[in-house]
Structure 1
Amino acid sequence: ISAGREIRVIVSPKHVDDLSSIKLARDIATKIESTMQYPGTIKVNVIRETRAIEFAK
């Protein structure tokens, strides 16, 4: 997202809890470090949110 330096992973709060989202971010970052060559850093964001949307007519 930021010039190819940021990864956003959107997960369902029903399937992933807070601790699992932290572990997922670390696992993704570790996999990137071990398999890719890149200058600088890559930011990994795991987004776990609930959205409630209603419409009024």
Structure 2
Amino acid sequence: MKIKMSGDMMFSLRKLALLGAVGQPVKLSSVHFAEAIKSSVQTAGRRLQELEREGFVHR
């Protein structure tokens, strides 16, 4: 099964992995995630929502 993923989603998943979210849950605020991906808090929130909608993260 192939998953079609945007570059933004891939980048966001990679950043989450670098923050320790591989095989274990991590607590992460939208502000901290925004800083990690160098974006606004609104963009970070949208990225997290998209990842959640696709089943990659649970919030």
Q: Normalising by the residue count of structure 1, what TM-score does the alignment of the two structures yield?
A: 0.35
Larger-gyration structure (1/2):
1
Q: Normalising by the residue count of structure 2, what TM-score does the alignment of the two structures yield?
A: 0.34
1 or 2 for the larger relative contact order (CA 8 Å, sep ≥6)?
Answer: 1
Q: More helix by proportion, 1 or 2?
A: 2
Q: More strand by proportion, 1 or 2?
A: 1
